[in-house]
Amino acid sequence: MDYLPKDHFKQYEISNFAKFGLSCRHNLNYWDNGPYMGLGPSAVSYIDGKREENMPDILEYIKKAPSGRSVTVFSEKLSGIASAKETAAVKIRTMEGIALKWFKDKTGLDFLKLEEGALPRLLEERLIRYVMDKGVRSGVALTRKGILFCDIVSGAFL
pLDDT digits (tens, 9 = 90+) for 96-141: 999 999 999 999 999 999 999 999 999 999 999 999 999 999 999 9
**Domain layout of the chain by residue ranges:** 36-77, 80-157
Rounded to whole angstroms, the Cα distance separating 103 from 36 reads 19
Helices and strands in the chain, H and E counts: 8, 8
Query: What tens digit of pLDDT does each residue of 16-56 get?
Result: 999 999 999 988 998 888 999 999 999 999 998 899 999 99
Query: What tens digit of pLDDT does each residue of 57-95 get?
Result: 999 999 999 998 899 999 999 889 999 999 999 999 999
Judged by DSSP in three states, 94 sits in: strand
Residues in CB range of 99: below 8 A, 6 or more apart? 131, 138, 139
pTM score: 0.87
**pLDDT reported for residue 48:** 87
Which of 11, 47, 17 has its CA nearest to residue 29? 47
Rounded to whole angstroms, the Cα distance separating 132 from 21 reads 24
**pLDDT reported for residue 84:** 95
Rounded to whole angstroms, the Cα distance separating 81 from 140 reads 19
Taking the domain 80-157, which CATH number applies?
1.10.10
